[in-house]
Each structure stands twice: as C-alpha cells, then as structure tokens.
Amino acid sequence: MTLKQICRAFLKSLILIQIVEVMYPEEFVLPMKAELVDNGFEDLTTASEVENAVKKQGTTLLVINSVCGCAAGACRPGVLMAIANAPIKPDYITTSFAGFDIEAINKVRELQLPYPPSSPAILLFKDGQLVNMVERHQIEGRPAQLIAQHLITVFQEHCN
C-alpha cells in the first residue's frame, strides 16, 4: 500500500466519524456564499459536483469558504482581487462552504491529499490534479492583497 493510499484510507475513516449535520444555519452562510457566487463562482454542494468540477480539462480554482474572520477579511477578498486583476486566470472558479456543504467538503478533503483538512483554503487543480493549495495558516493574519498577489503568481505558473 502506498503512502497516498494509506493517507486516503485514514482520511476516509476521519470523514466517517465527522458530524454529518450542517454546523451553521443557512442565515449565516448564504451571505458569505453570495460574496463568491455573485462574482461568478460555481457553488459546489455535492460530492459529484466537486468531482466533476476538478476533473475538467484545464484549471479549476476551488475556494473552501468559511465563517471565520480570516475567510471574511483575507480569503474571500484576496481571491476576488486575484480573479479581478490576474492577466491569466483559472478556466473555472468554484467554491464550497465548510460546515455547510458537508458532502462536497468531504470530497474535497479526499482530493486535497496529502494536505490536511483546512478551512478556509484555496486549491488549484489542473487537468484533475491538485497543483497548489493555500492553507488556513497561510491565510490567517495576512492581508487580502498579499493573498491576491500570491494567487496571481500561482495562476501565471499553472494556468494557460
């Protein structure tokens, strides 16, 4: 068994013991979802939607949205700045909400190996493969402009 297979099995066992109920009320989540969805992000709510989105040819940005302050103050604004200002952008921009889109987030966590679960987080897939991930610890305490600048560099490296 390879390390990736071991990690995947471990992650699946963690997913099985996770709370399967929605953690946050819709009234809290919908305005935070709207911040990205109203700017062209596809809202992924099921495992099959996640799988179909990331396996597309080209590049897919997937933002794991969250209720936390660093998502509100840095992640979402940084991602929106990057998309608005990057000369080269991902082919597809998508989002799922941690603690709300349970099925979708569990699928993302499978696909983000070897990275541990993280929210918020920003993932870039190319032709179905994860090529870059910005984890929570790389978002917390950083200004949105710095996150945008980093993402623009990532887009230039991986997007056509």
Name residue 103's amino acid. Answer: E
Q: Which helix (H) or strand (E) holds 122?
A: strand 121-126
> Contact, 134 vs 121, CB < 8 A?
yes
68 classed as catalytic: yes
Q: Give the tokens for residue 35.
A: 């911040």
- At 124 the three-state DSSP class reads strand
Is 75 an annotated catalytic residue? no
Residues classed as catalytic: 68, 70
